[in-house]
């Protein structure tokens, strides 16, 4: 059974804290993605990685960074969390062959 897992389902942090969101996939996929989902705005791409140590900015990268040191793991980092980063964060992975994206269960982050 293919799987994308995320480190936390719910997270509460304070403004200014550094936040790490972890995503792991077991499908040997080349591509990994971080999205945020907000009501009425759909899924917006933050960052995308198509290989180990490779990354590309998505549509809303400001305030975020990413790290991909191993093929199965893709981390999203909020260097200094702000209240406007309160959101649902979804990780996804896909094969370069067909690009069907498999999503993780999401992390609901609240920044106080």
Q: Which residues bind other proteins (CB under 8 A)?
A: 4, 31, 35, 40-45, 48, 50, 56, 58-59, 90, 94, 96, 98-106
Tokens of 30: 């080349």
- Judged by beta carbon, residue 106 or residue 109, the one nearer other proteins is 106
Shortest spacing between CB 110 and other proteins, in angstroms: 16
Distance (Å, whole) CA 49 – CA 82:
24
- Strand, helix or coil at 83? helix
* Min CB(100)–other proteins separation in Å: 5
Distance CA 77, CA 42 (A): 21
Q: How far is CA 69 from the centre of its chain?
A: 14
Identity of the residue, 11 or 103, whose beta carbon is nearer to other proteins in the bound complex: 103
In the complex, least distance from residue 18 CB atom to other proteins, rounded to whole angstroms: 26
């Amino acid at each position: 059974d293919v799987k994308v897992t995320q480190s936390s389902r719910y997270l509460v942090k304070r403004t200014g804290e550094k936040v790490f969101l972890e995503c792991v996939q077991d499908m040997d996929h080349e591509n990994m993605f971080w999205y945020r989902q907000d009501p009425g705005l759909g899924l917006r791409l933050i960052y995308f990685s198509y290989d180990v140590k490779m990354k590309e900015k998505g549509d809303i990268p400001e305030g975020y960074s990413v790290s991909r040191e191993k093929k199965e793991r893709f981390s999203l980092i909020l260097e200094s969390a702000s209240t406007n980063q309160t959101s649902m964060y979804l990780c996804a992975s896909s094969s370069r062959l067909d690009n069907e994206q498999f999503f993780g269960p999401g992390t609901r982050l609240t920044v106080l």
